[in-house]
Every structure is written in structure tokens, then in C-alpha cells.
Amino acid sequence: MDRKEVLVSGADIARQREFTAKIKAMFQARGAHPTACVDTFGCQQNVADGQRLMGMLEEMGFTLVSSPEEADTAILNTCAVREHAEDRVFGNLGALSHAKRANPEMVIALCGCMAQEPRVSARIKKSYPYVNLVFGPQALWKLPELLWQVYESRRRVFSVEDEPGRLAEGLPVVRDDSVRAWVSVMYGCNNFCSYCIVPYVRGRERSRDASCVVEEVRGLVASGCREITLLGQNVNSYGNDLQNGCDFSDLLEEIDRIPGDYWIRFMSSHPKDATPKLFSTMARCSHVAKQLHLPFQSGNDRVLAAMNRRYTRERYLELIRCARAAMPELVLTSDVIIGFPGETEAEAMDTVSLVREVGFDALFTFLYSPRPGTRAAELPDPASREDKQRWFDTLLAVQNEFSARKHAAYVGSTVRVLVDGKSDDPDYPLSARTEGNRLVRLRGGEKLIGSFASARISGSNTWALYGETEE
């Protein structure tokens, strides 16, 4: 697609501002003080989208509230990655019917990844008549226009066309955390891993201009933000669509030149596109945290091919060796799926053996969940739920042992941490993160929140480190 067609034009953005102004004026004329809630499920990309939705709602004159039941306009920003995520949303929608009965003027909207699935929008159309608006991730920037249609016509609005997606710059944003921020560098996914719904609901890969990303990060650093996570489904393919030679490593390098005391993280990286250039750039850039989230999904070559991941176990291990050679202190995390259709016990144990071989600091483990519309959902799946659960438990036990051992190795050392908030543990009232993104429960004064500190690590378990600040 031509870059001009990908970028939402200034005129289109101006049109949305007109709808924003109309909605604001409408409420003012009624003397109304409307409230809105964006309830976000799913990944950080969705959280970042939710912050844009909140930004647009605030500009329309809404006061943001935290519970959808209390809101005049409630938006459920949904995730479709696993069946469980979808079930939760349908449950929440059901609960909202009571709020709508109490407040018939209430507007209920469903957006995000689930909204883009044809079978979901059909179900909403048929069985959830009190949902006023359904729009997919590609239509997010049009929220003012879509809401105006709902308010004006009181008809149900569905904006769920199957679009490759566009890029809208300059949308307002509400960030609830002043210490840490999410910045999307690209949207969509072209990879079509056979189990995954994301490419079907988030459109094609499109990268933001490096200058826009750099300016956003610069603004965040200037406002005191200390940790910025760059987001994309596969940040390693950043720039492929820009045709100006700028790749993700170049983007990191440019961001790193912004002066200030801050950490840059990024996720996710796809192993098929991770390169030695990325690792040497990470090693060289002082602001880039020496931490890598590199999902491997399976340790067995047959399963990897069936997943359409386009790398082998050996290639993955080679990447890890290369990354560790460039950054000996690297903290490594990954995603893994157990129970892909047709996976045997021996194949699942190859995944467990890869976990042992690499020694990850932490792992996000998932039981395979069939997603209608994906290729894997059509495959025979003979293994029983009980067998898959057993393999999963084996994997978890191995990883927990590694996590505990890795954490124990910090005890007695002093590490630099970013204090990012309060914790729920009265003995360790602060929550902090190491450069490798390990959670630290910390003793110290609240005035440290938002700053880097030196922490003496005195204890650990599988999930966290414990320490005292050196004032």
C-alpha cells in the first residue's frame, strides 16, 4: 500500500476533531456531565490503544471512571487471543445489561480484537441488542464519528470492515502511570502463525515514522517518564514497509540519543527476524535495557513448522548464544504454547528440554486454545486435556525452579532499580524493577517512587526479589 494511503490524513483527523467538538457541545447544551469507562483486556498493545480511547473521550468532555457499570458510556476493549479471554468479555457484557436497564441512556461499546471477528460481531448483533457500538482496532481513530452516529441516530453502529489498517498520528492520550509508558512503534502482523488470531483482527504490519516515535519518547522523557516500552507484534520487522532503510535497530539507536535517565524496553521480538545487529545495538545503547523477550513457542522442529514460525530449535538456540555473547548479563524471557494440535508427549518434552537448555529468567506459558478461523483450529487434536495439563505442569515446575534459582543468585548484590509504585506488601511497601525487568519488593520511603535507586537484595522467591534501598 502507498504510504499516503496508510497515513490518516490531516483532513481526516480534523474531521474527527469536529465530531469531538459536536459531542462536547451536545453535552454542554444539555447541562450534562457524562462519564465514560474504557475497560481493557489483553496485551500491552491493547492497553496502549485503551489510553488513546481515553484521550479521545476526555476531549469529548467525559469524566473517566474506573467501573463500566457506573459509566454513561462504557467501552469494553477486548482481546481474542484465547477462548478464556473471550468468555470473560461475554460475561462482563451480560453483567452490563443490568446497568443498562437502570440507565437506558447508557451507551455500551465493544472494541478491540474480538470486535473484529465476524463470528463475534454477528453474535453481538443477534444476542446482545443493548450493545450500541462495535468497532475493530482498525477503526479506533474514528471513535468520535462513530459515537456521534450512535448519539444522533440512536441506531446500532457496526464498524468492523476487514481493513489492512491505517496509521493515525496525533491522537490524544491519557496515561495513568507517569513513571512507565507504552509506545506503539508499529501495528498489525503479517506472520500468520497457524494458531494465532492476531493477524486476522489487527490488519497488516504498518510502521510509524521514526521521527514520530522519537518525538513521542522525547516528550515522555521530558515529562519525567523513566521506562518506555516500545510495542509491536514483531518489532523486528519494524521498517519493512517504510522503504527508507530504517530498521528496528536504527530506531533504537535514534531513541538512545535522547538525553536523560531512562530505560527503553521493547516487545515482542520474533526469532525469525532477530539479528546480530539487534543484539550489538542493544549492547551499545546505554538506555536500552539488557532484557529480551524472545518467544519460542515450541522446542520441537515439526511443531515449529506446523506453527508456521519459520525457524528451528537450533536456529533459536544459536540466536540465544549470539545475544548472550553480545550481552553476558542479558535477562531472557519467552512465550510458549503447550498442546498445539497433534503435539505428542515427546514433542512437548522437547519444549521442556529447550527451557532447561536456555535457562530463561521467566516464561509466559499457555495451553493451546483453538481460535476459529485460524489454520491450526482445523487440525486434528487427539491429545486429551488431562495429558496436555500434565505436560504443562511439568514445564511449569522446571521453569519455576529456574526462576527461583536465577532470583536467588541476586541475593547479596546491589542492583540499580526503578521504583515504580507502591506494593501490596506492608513489609516491603515499594515496588521496583531491575534493568532486566525483575520485580523487586523494596523497603524505603514513598518519595523514591519515580526515581532510580540502589537496592541491596536480601531475599528472593520464584516471582520476586526483596531488598532495601541504600539511601
To ligand F3S, the closest distance from the beta carbon of 230 in angstroms equals 15
What three-state secondary structure class fits 261? coil
Question: What's the burial of 247, exposed, middle or buried (CB within 10 Å: 0-12/13-18/19+)?
Answer: buried
- What dihedral angle (degrees, nearest 10) is formed by the CA atoms of 158, 160, 165, 169? 30
Sequence letter at residue 65: V
Using rule CB under 6 A, residue 198 touches ligand SF4: yes
Q: Binding string, 242-281, against ligand SF4, x = CB under 6 A?
A: ----------------------------x-----------
Instruction: Choose the contact partner of 46 out of ligand SAM, ligand F3S, ligand SF4, none; CB within 5 to 8 A by kind.
Output: ligand F3S
How many whole angstroms separate alpha carbon 41 and alpha carbon 83?
13
Out of 54, 75, 76, 80, point to the residue binding ligand F3S (CB under 6 A). Answer: 80
What three-state secondary structure class fits 193? coil
How many whole angstroms separate alpha carbon 427 and alpha carbon 448?
16
Cβ 49 vs Cβ 112: under 8 Å = yes
Using rule CB under 6 A, residue 237 touches ligand SF4: no
Residues 99-138 that bind ligand F3S (CB under 6 A): 112-113
Using rule CB under 6 A, residue 192 touches ligand SF4: yes
Cell of residue 45, nine digits: 498493545
In the complex with ligand SAM, the residue whose CB is nearer, 142 or 371, is: 371
To ligand F3S, the closest distance from the beta carbon of 41 in angstroms equals 7
- In which residue are the cell numbers 460481531 written? 121
Using rule CB under 6 A, residue 399 touches ligand SAM: no
In the complex with ligand F3S, the residue whose CB is nearer, 182 or 248, is: 182
Fill in the DSSP letter of residue 168.
-
Fill in the DSSP letter of residue 410.
T
Cβ 294 vs Cβ 306: under 8 Å = no
Q: Binding string, 370-389, against ligand SAM, x = CB under 6 A?
A: -x------------------
Residues 101-140 that bind ligand SF4 (CB under 6 A): none
Using rule CB under 6 A, residue 139 touches ligand F3S: no
Using rule CB under 6 A, residue 199 touches ligand SF4: yes
Using rule CB under 6 A, residue 196 touches ligand SF4: yes
What is the Cβ-side half-sphere exposure of residue 256, based on CA atoms within 13 angstroms? 17
Out of 46, 149, 434, 437, point to the residue binding ligand F3S (CB under 6 A). Answer: 46
Residues with Cβ < 8 Å from 136, sequence gap 6 or more? Answer: 111, 112, 113, 115, 116, 159, 160, 161, 163, 201
In the complex with ligand SAM, the residue whose CB is nearer, 104 or 380, is: 380
Helices 276-284, 248-256: inter-axial angle, 10-degree rounding: 0
- In which residue are the cell numbers 502463525 written? 193
Using rule CB under 6 A, residue 184 touches ligand F3S: no
In the complex with ligand SF4, the residue whose CB is nearer, 143 or 189, is: 189
Fill in the DSSP letter of residue 380.
-
To ligand SAM, the closest distance from the beta carbon of 220 in angstroms equals 23
Binding site residues, ligand F3S, CB under 6 A: 42-43, 45-46, 79-81, 112-113, 197-198, 202
Binding site residues, ligand SAM, CB under 6 A: 43, 81-82, 195-196, 198, 233-234, 268, 270, 295, 297, 335, 337, 366, 368-369, 371
